[in-house]
Amino acid sequence: MKGLLVRVGIDQAYGGWNAPVDPGTLEFAYVPIPEGSQRSELATPYRDVEGALAGFPGFELPAALHGRMMHLDPDFECLTYGDNGARRGRRVAELGPRDFIAFFAGLKPIRALDTNLVYALVGFYWVKEVVRAVAVPPARWGENAHTRRVEHSAADVIVRAEPSGSGRLRRCIPIGEWRDRSYRVRRGLLRAWGHLSSRDGYIQRSAVPPSFLAPERFLRWFDEQHPDPVAANNPGPAGGWVPEPTP
């Protein structure tokens, strides 16, 4: 069994902004990074996340993103994830049935905390299959950002997840802390998980997604958190929700 920890979502490097999280309820908005050219009939504009952001007063899309398209990846509604299988996503391309991917993001808390960002798990996939993007038939191009593009890269791969137990988490699970001048997985979690391939749990930015050195241990821990994955990018009416009030 293999497991990867993959960073997703808009951030300061890709989009110049971080999506919001309520540190009391752990509800969050999933906002992807910007995209380039897409087929017009498959376009995923940023206006699609405005309903989700409405539940977080004071958080609005930056003007620079208005009118732009999202690289909606992972697409939790379609249960897919794409990556470049020759470079950053080489480990993704090597995944097989019943391997898994845990997705995390750097989120901006809606009120001040000791750290500027909340690094948290936001989704989970049990892998069903991994296919080459160029082999995906046109009828399924709308399932992932890499096949919504005008041109498909021969190196790109698409992960399709098992419907049972896969999806976006309704509430995120914080995993990070600021340590040694960067964001890293908390030391207690590293021990519980059996450690990662990245040095001292480094998760701030990496060219290659870190792998779990003891995937079964991570899965036991993850199950104890009672995750609630759903096949939706931002659950709720019209793509949004109103977070529960914090006591």
Mean model confidence pLDDT for the chain: 92
Confidence band (pLDDT; 50, 70, 90) for 112? Answer: confident
In this predicted structure, what is the pLDDT of residue 85?
A: 87
Residue 12 tokens read as 């300061």
For residues 186-214, b (16+ Cβ closer than 10 Å) or e, as one string?
eeebbebbebbebeebbbbeeeebbebee
Q: What beta strand segments (E) does the chain contain? A: 3-7, 20-21, 33-34, 70-71, 80-84, 100-109, 118-132, 156-161, 167-174, 176-179, 182-185, 229-230
In this predicted structure, what is the pLDDT of residue 187?
A: 97
In this predicted structure, what is the pLDDT of residue 221?
A: 98
pLDDT digits (tens, 9 = 90+) for 173-196: 999 999 999 999 999 999 999 999
pLDDT digits (tens, 9 = 90+) for 35-84: 988 999 999 999 999 999 999 988 999 999 999 999 999 999 999 999 99
Confidence band (pLDDT; 50, 70, 90) for 208? Answer: confident
Confidence band (pLDDT; 50, 70, 90) for 246? Answer: very low
